[in-house]
Structure 1
Amino acid sequence: MAQTVANQIFIIFLLIGLGFFIRKIKLINDGFTQGATNLIIYVTLPAMVLASMDRDFTRELALNGLIIFLLGGLMYAILSIIAFIFVKVRKINDDSKGVYLYMIIFGNVGYLGYPIMSIAFGEIGVFYAAFFNIWFNILTWTLGVKLMSKDRVSITKLLLNPGLLATLLGVVIFFLNIDLPSTVKTTLEMIGNTTVPLAMFVIGAFLADAKFSSTVKNKELYMASLMKLIAGPLLMVIILFSVELSSTIKAIPIVMSGMPSGVNTAIFARMFNRDYKLASQGVVLSTALSLITLPLLLMIIL
């Protein structure tokens, strides 16, 4: 299990490395990264969400999905408290405050989370992860945008965004037991499947413009990564191990809380003109450290 998870994370690094290489040899330029960022946010991610929610309805699955959803809310509340305490104690300045907050709160629950749920729990793990990730799609387009945007954000714009709309539509599809036409489902899956490699290429391109020496010397990045990878899962373990729930239902939010910083950290930083180089460094550092922490976490709780 640990080896399989490590392999999955290693694949992500290979994709990031390829993005880094093709940016260094100028096969892609800054215009590509901006266009690819918009493509991910507005097209491929919403398609992936819709495809994941197209499943047959049963009362048991719905009840367990609701429990997972509520536990997801608990996780994000815990990570938000940790994040705001971190920036206050470390006295992070306004320029990078939003990046650090986003880095700790929002993990890689999609690109890395879905594959690991599949490895650990099979198809049912992916289904429950879709319920869990409803919070991510809601909060990343509301709280996440608020943290990253330097300007005042319109509530209307926050609500009328493709990620949130796709999530709400996916919930309707599941609870009304709507079967999407096979051609539509296949198309959504094909578009959604491009999200992971495209996002990794973008992160690699961002890193090509960043200075690795600043990553190594930036102790705040290390501390933020440890808060994300260790403090969050530890608190979730303490809370959930005293609750009467099935082992799978308890394990999913614990593992999800230990995911490294999501690639959306860098994508949103680029989108809203924040320090995307710092964000990219944070994503790569936390993902590198997760090569150690995630396998250990899985061995402890499974």
Structure 2
Amino acid sequence: MFLRSISGVLIILILISVGYVLTQRGWFDENFSHVVSKIVTQIALPCYMINTITSKFSRGELFQIFPDLKFPILSMTILFFVAWLMQYVFRIDAKHRGLFKSMFSNSNTVFVGLPVNMALFGKASLPYVLIYYMANTTFFWTLGVYLIRLDGDAETKMTLKEVVQKIFSPPLLGFLLGVALVLMNISLPSFLNSDLKYIGNLTVPLSMFFIGMKLAQVGLTNIHWSKDMGGIFLGRFVLAPLLMMVLVAFAHVPVLMKQVFVIQAAMPVMTNAPVVAKLYGADSDYAAVMVTATTAFSLIMVPILMLIVVNQF
């Protein structure tokens, strides 16, 4: 399992390095990274979800995993309260407190979490990755966005329609469509399944390229240690996985689910945080540095977490 974790990290690191080097060489720019982000989230990932759900799971299996939503929901709720306390412990500047609490509590379950779990556990991990994703995306686009908005222009309003659209994003809609097809025993034509599979297979490599692009665009030399970063690291890589371990330790659920939930809980800051910060006039550079720092450090933390998870479960 240790060798598998090292191998999984190396796979991810090489893909990220390709995106980083090509961006440094001028092949990819800010506009291209934006296009890649849209391709992954709006096209490739929804196709991946539909194909995987319809081809790998039965109705019975789906009914078994939905109650597991309670674990990430409870974990993130507790983390938000812990983050509120930590903003005073680390003496976070008032203009950064909303971002701090949002980044402390929410993890990058798609661009990093999905490929990491696929590399470590294979396709069997997908339903648990998606269960965690459902809770995480709902928290971020409601409470997380509200907190970030308080750092910037608190008068800027996001309508109920916009909030619903953010929560029911293309990846989540792809997941729900796949679930609906399975529950209604509807089989897609083989040619359509092939198309969904081919497009869906773009998800992992493009996600890793995207992270490499963002690392290059922000610049690794711009990352400097600070008390804020220490607080975010504590939340993302220590408290979040530790809390999840406690919540699932004695639960009568598959071991794989426990392992995936712990890994998902310890993923870096969501890549959406800088975008939302810029939209509402908060400090987007502050958020971008935290995304970059936690993403880079996660490559070190994954093998360590895998050893802990294997010994724990």
The residue aligned with 1:32 is 32
Correspondences of 1:114-129 after superposition (within 5 Å)? 114-118=114-118, 121-129=121-129
Identity %, equivalent residues: 25
The 10-residue stretch of structure 1 (115-124 or 229-238) with the greater mean CA deviation from structure 2: 115-124
Q: Given the superposition, is the C-alpha separation of residues 102 and 6 from structure 1 closer, same or farther in structure 2, using an over 3 Å criterion?
A: farther
Correspondences of 1:25-104 after superposition (within 5 Å)? 25-54=25-54, 55-59=56-60, 61-93=61-93, 95-104=95-104
8 Å contact kept, 2:69–2:132: yes
8 Å contact kept, 1:148–1:274: yes
Structure 1: state its 5+ residue gaps.
Answer: none
Alignment of 1:158 with 2:175, yes or no, is: no
8 Å contact kept, 1:52–1:130: no
Question: Which residue, out of 278, 302, 308, partners 1:294?
Answer: 302
Instruction: Using the TM superposition, give the Cα deviation of residue 57 of structure 1 relative to its aligned residue in structure 2, in angstroms.
Output: 2.1
Q: Secondary structure of the equivalent of 2:224?
A: helix
Q: Given the superposition, is the C-alpha separation of residues 260 and 56 from structure 1 closer, same or farther in structure 2, using an over 3 Å criterion?
A: same
1: distance between equivalents of 2:278 and 2:41?
12
2:58 counterpart letter in structure 1: F
8 Å contact kept, 1:5–1:116: no
The residue aligned with 2:290 is 282
Q: Given the superposition, is the C-alpha separation of residues 206 and 111 from structure 1 closer, same or farther in structure 2, using an over 3 Å criterion?
A: closer
Q: TM-score, normalised by structure 2?
A: 0.78
1:110-165 Cα distance to aligned partner (Å, 9 max, x none): 34434444455554322333333222343344445445555321111221343343
8 Å contact kept, 1:103–1:262: yes
Instruction: Using the TM superposition, give the Cα deviation of residue 71 of structure 1 relative to its aligned residue in structure 2, in angstroms.
Output: 1.7
Correspondences of 1:1-302 after superposition (within 5 Å)? 1-54=1-54, 55-59=56-60, 61-93=61-93, 95-118=95-118, 121-148=121-148, 151-161=156-166, 162-163=169-170, 164-266=172-274, 275-302=283-310
Structure 2: state its 5+ residue gaps.
Answer: none
Cα RMSD, aligned residues only: 3.2
8 Å contact kept, 2:48–2:196: yes
8 Å contact kept, 1:203–1:266: no
2: distance between equivalents of 1:12 and 1:270?
28
2: distance between equivalents of 1:42 and 1:223?
32
Instruction: Using the TM superposition, give the Cα deviation of residue 230 of structure 1 relative to its aligned residue in structure 2, in angstroms.
Output: 1.0
Q: TM-score, normalised by structure 1?
A: 0.80
Q: Given the superposition, is the C-alpha separation of residues 124 and 211 from structure 1 closer, same or farther in structure 2, using an over 3 Å criterion?
A: closer
Q: Given the superposition, is the C-alpha separation of residues 41 and 58 from structure 1 closer, same or farther in structure 2, using an over 3 Å criterion?
A: closer
1: distance between equivalents of 2:47 and 2:276?
18
2: distance between equivalents of 1:273 and 1:199?
27
2: distance between equivalents of 1:74 and 1:107?
14
8 Å contact kept, 1:203–1:280: no
Q: Secondary structure of the equivalent of 2:218?
A: coil
1:16 counterpart letter in structure 2: I
Instruction: Using the TM superposition, give the Cα deviation of residue 229 of structure 1 relative to its aligned residue in structure 2, in angstroms.
Output: 0.9
Instruction: Using the TM superposition, give the Cα deviation of residue 225 of structure 1 relative to its aligned residue in structure 2, in angstroms.
Output: 1.6
1:9 counterpart letter in structure 2: V
Q: Number of aligned residue pairs: give it.
A: 301
2: distance between equivalents of 1:236 and 1:62?
22
2: distance between equivalents of 1:131 and 1:101?
22
